[in-house]
Amino acid sequence: QLQLQESGPGLVRPSETLSLTCTVSGGSISGSSPYYWGWIRQPPGKGLEWMGSIYYSGSTYYNPSLKSRVTISVDTSKNQFSLKLTSVTAADTAVYYCARRFDYRHSLDYWGQGTLVTVSS
Protein backbone atom coordinates (compact mmCIF):
# COMPACT_ATOMS: atom_id res chain seq x y z
CA GLN A 1 0.00 0.00 0.00
CA LEU A 2 1.42 3.34 -1.07
CA GLN A 3 2.08 5.79 1.74
CA LEU A 4 3.18 9.42 1.71
CA GLN A 5 4.58 11.25 4.73
CA GLU A 6 5.33 14.95 5.01
CA SER A 7 8.15 16.18 7.22
CA GLY A 8 9.71 19.53 8.06
CA PRO A 9 9.63 22.41 10.54
CA GLY A 10 6.28 23.31 12.03
CA LEU A 11 7.27 26.93 12.58
CA VAL A 12 8.84 29.31 10.08
CA ARG A 13 9.72 32.96 10.59
CA PRO A 14 8.23 35.61 8.29
CA SER A 15 10.34 36.35 5.20
CA GLU A 16 12.17 33.04 5.53
CA THR A 17 11.88 29.89 3.38
CA LEU A 18 9.47 27.07 4.14
CA SER A 19 10.93 23.65 3.33
CA LEU A 20 9.06 20.35 3.41
CA THR A 21 9.85 16.83 2.24
CA CYS A 22 7.47 14.06 1.25
CA THR A 23 8.74 10.51 1.64
CA VAL A 24 7.02 7.87 -0.47
CA SER A 25 6.92 4.27 0.70
CA GLY A 26 5.30 1.16 -0.73
CA GLY A 27 6.05 2.24 -4.28
CA SER A 28 8.69 3.88 -6.44
CA ILE A 29 8.64 7.55 -7.33
CA SER A 30 10.81 6.97 -10.39
CA GLY A 31 10.45 5.21 -13.69
CA SER A 32 8.24 5.93 -16.62
CA SER A 33 4.79 5.93 -15.15
CA PRO A 34 1.54 7.93 -15.22
CA TYR A 35 2.20 9.45 -11.80
CA TYR A 36 2.97 13.01 -10.82
CA TRP A 37 3.80 14.12 -7.31
CA GLY A 38 2.26 17.26 -5.92
CA TRP A 39 1.78 19.67 -3.06
CA ILE A 40 -1.56 21.04 -1.89
CA ARG A 41 -2.12 23.34 1.05
CA GLN A 42 -5.09 24.30 3.23
CA PRO A 43 -5.11 27.40 5.47
CA PRO A 44 -6.91 26.84 8.77
CA GLY A 45 -10.66 26.75 8.22
CA LYS A 46 -10.29 27.31 4.48
CA GLY A 47 -10.25 25.36 1.23
CA LEU A 48 -7.62 23.45 -0.71
CA GLU A 49 -5.08 25.13 -2.99
CA TRP A 50 -2.99 23.25 -5.56
CA MET A 51 0.59 24.50 -5.36
CA GLY A 52 2.33 22.46 -8.00
CA SER A 53 3.58 19.07 -9.10
CA ILE A 54 6.62 17.27 -10.42
CA TYR A 55 7.32 14.25 -12.62
CA TYR A 56 10.10 11.83 -11.71
CA SER A 57 12.17 13.24 -14.57
CA GLY A 58 12.18 16.64 -12.88
CA SER A 59 9.57 18.41 -15.02
CA THR A 60 7.70 20.85 -12.81
CA TYR A 61 4.33 22.58 -12.97
CA TYR A 62 3.36 25.42 -10.66
CA ASN A 63 0.28 27.39 -9.69
CA PRO A 64 0.77 30.77 -11.42
CA SER A 65 -0.28 32.56 -8.23
CA LEU A 66 2.73 31.08 -6.40
CA LYS A 67 5.13 30.46 -9.25
CA SER A 68 7.68 33.09 -8.30
CA ARG A 69 8.04 31.68 -4.76
CA VAL A 70 7.66 27.92 -5.19
CA THR A 71 10.20 25.27 -6.10
CA ILE A 72 9.45 21.55 -6.17
CA SER A 73 12.26 19.04 -6.58
CA VAL A 74 12.62 15.27 -6.60
CA ASP A 75 15.25 12.91 -5.22
CA THR A 76 14.58 9.51 -6.76
CA SER A 77 17.47 7.90 -4.84
CA LYS A 78 15.63 8.66 -1.58
CA ASN A 79 12.13 8.22 -3.02
CA GLN A 80 11.33 11.75 -1.91
CA PHE A 81 10.14 15.02 -3.34
CA SER A 82 10.35 18.42 -1.72
CA LEU A 83 8.73 21.84 -1.53
CA LYS A 84 10.38 25.19 -0.97
CA LEU A 85 8.32 28.36 -0.55
CA THR A 86 10.27 31.59 -0.20
CA SER A 87 9.46 34.90 1.47
CA VAL A 88 6.68 33.46 3.61
CA THR A 89 4.09 35.55 5.43
CA ALA A 90 1.32 34.73 7.88
CA ALA A 91 -0.90 34.01 4.87
CA ASP A 92 1.23 30.95 4.16
CA THR A 93 0.20 29.36 7.47
CA ALA A 94 -1.54 26.15 6.43
CA VAL A 95 -1.65 22.38 6.53
CA TYR A 96 0.56 21.21 3.69
CA TYR A 97 -0.28 17.92 1.97
CA CYS A 98 1.74 15.91 -0.48
CA ALA A 99 -0.16 13.70 -2.89
CA ARG A 100 0.17 11.46 -5.92
CA ARG A 101 -1.61 12.40 -9.10
CA PHE A 102 -2.61 9.45 -11.26
CA ASP A 103 -2.55 10.99 -14.71
CA TYR A 104 -4.72 8.29 -16.32
CA ARG A 105 -7.49 9.18 -13.87
CA HIS A 106 -6.71 12.91 -13.68
CA SER A 107 -7.02 12.86 -9.90
CA LEU A 108 -5.09 12.77 -6.63
CA ASP A 109 -5.45 9.21 -5.42
CA TYR A 110 -3.00 9.02 -2.50
CA TRP A 111 -2.44 11.73 0.10
CA GLY A 112 -0.13 12.24 3.02
CA GLN A 113 -1.65 12.99 6.41
CA GLY A 114 -0.64 16.64 6.17
CA THR A 115 1.63 18.80 8.29
CA LEU A 116 0.77 22.15 9.85
CA VAL A 117 3.25 24.91 9.17
CA THR A 118 2.81 28.15 11.10
CA VAL A 119 4.48 31.36 9.97
CA SER A 120 5.15 33.51 12.99
CA SER A 121 7.94 35.43 14.64
The least distance separating another protein from the CB of residue 14, rounded to whole angstroms, comes to 25
Choose one: 19-27, 63-71, 75-83, 85-93; the region binding another protein (CB under 8 A). Answer: 63-71
Q: Is 36 in the site for another protein (CB under 8 A)?
A: yes
Express the helix, strand and coil content of the chain in percent, nearest 5 each. Answer: 0, 50, 45
Choose one: 7-15, 22-30, 47-55, 71-79; the region binding another protein (CB under 8 A). Answer: 47-55
Q: Residue 70: which residues within 8 A CB-CB, separation 6 or more?
A: 51, 52, 62, 63, 83, 84, 85
The least distance separating another protein from the CB of residue 75, rounded to whole angstroms, comes to 20
